[in-house]
């Protein structure tokens, strides 16, 4: 029977649904820090999560349905774009200082993604100070930083595939990344937080997990 099966012409398999074009084109990269970030989050009951990137439905489902987080989506990339479009970039630091309605020490986790790379120094400092303010003691902040200067004008949506893989979906930006920050500059920026883990990935992204001292 097994031999017959092997000799008989194979029936054509029913055509599986073609994958979405975007899924084919978007590269998937490993992440080392996300799992640690998730572990930090799940140590709190009903954790609150602040996501600074554009809304990604599957990420919302991942954090909401699977981890029971309350998620606050505050797309700062959109704010940056608006300020660039309206030629009001000099107002961005003051805007960021008042941007977050969240109470001091109210967030268990913050997903900063690679936002800092796109900001000027004053805006980056204003944002970092605000994030350190809203983060709860013992809370975690995950941020990505480019380790090389890139000229391309695009942002990246980070779509969680699982706790060790992220799909990177590029979308157009009004301007590219600013200069790649040194580790010491990053640490100074997030004064009040301590670096818990830091990983340099093969795709030249530094993943840094900050914790706020309890």
Partner 1 sequence: MEKDIVNIGKSVVIKGELNGSEDLTIEGHVEGTIQLREHVLTIGPNGRIKAQVFAKSVIVLGEVTGNVTASEKVDIRDNGSVDGDIVSPRVAIAEGAHFRGSVDMQRKGGGQPAAKADAKAAAPQPAPAVQPHAAAPAQRVGA
User: Which residues lie near partner 1 (CB under 8 A)?
Assistant: 19, 22, 27-30, 32, 35, 38-39, 41-42, 45-46, 55-57, 60-62, 64-75, 161-165, 183, 195, 197-203, 206-208
Residue showing tokens 């608006």: 82
**Shortest distance, position 9 Cβ to partner 1, whole Å:** 26
CB closer to partner 1, 66 vs 149: 66
- 77-80: long-range contacts at Cβ-Cβ below 8 A with a sequence spacing of 24 or more? 77/52, 77/53, 77/115, 77/118, 77/155, 77/173, 78/54, 80/115, 80/118, 80/119, 80/123, 80/174
Minimum CB distance to partner 1 smaller for 29 or for 97:
29
Residue number with CB closer to partner 1 (64 or 192): 64
DSSP class of 52: -
Q: How far is the CB of 47 from partner 1 (least distance, A)?
A: 9
Neighbours of 13 (CB within 10 A): 6
> How near is the Cβ of 198 to partner 1 at its closest, in Å?
3
Q: Return the number of the residue (90 or 150) whose C-beta is nearest partner 1.
A: 150
Q: Are 181 and 112 in contact (CB under 8 A)?
A: no
Distance in Å, CB of 46 to partner 1, minimum? 7
Q: Which of 28, 45, 16 is nearest to 160 (CA)?
A: 28
CB closer to partner 1, 153 vs 165 = 165
Smallest distance from partner 1 to CB 95, Å: 15
Q: Which residue has the tokens 């954790």?
A: 47
């Amino acid at each position: 029977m097994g031999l017959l099966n092997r000799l008989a012409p194979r029936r054509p398999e029913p055509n599986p649904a073609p994958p979405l074009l975007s899924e084919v084109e978007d590269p998937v990269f490993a992440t080392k820090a996300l799992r640690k970030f998730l572990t930090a989050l799940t140590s709190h009951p009903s954790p609150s999560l602040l996501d600074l990137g554009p809304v990604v439905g599957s990420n919302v489902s991942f954090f909401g349905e699977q981890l029971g987080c309350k998620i606050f989506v505050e797309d700062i990339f959109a704010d940056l774009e608006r300020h660039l479009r309206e030629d009001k970039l000099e107002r961005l630091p003051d805007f960021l200082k008042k941007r977050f309605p969240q109470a001091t020490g109210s967030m268990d986790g913050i997903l900063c993604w690679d936002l800092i790379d796109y900001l000027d120094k004053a805006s980056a400092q204003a944002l970092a100070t605000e994030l350190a303010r809203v983060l709860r003691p013992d809370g975690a902040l995950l941020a990505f930083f480019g380790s090389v200067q890139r000229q391309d004008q695009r942002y990246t949506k980070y779509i969680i595939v699982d706790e060790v893989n992220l799909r990177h979906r590029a979308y157009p930006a009004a301007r590219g990344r600013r200069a790649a920050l040194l580790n010491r500059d990053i640490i100074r920026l997030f004064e009040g937080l301590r670096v818990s883990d830091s990983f340099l990935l093969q795709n030249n992204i530094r993943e840094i997990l900050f914790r706020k001292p309890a």
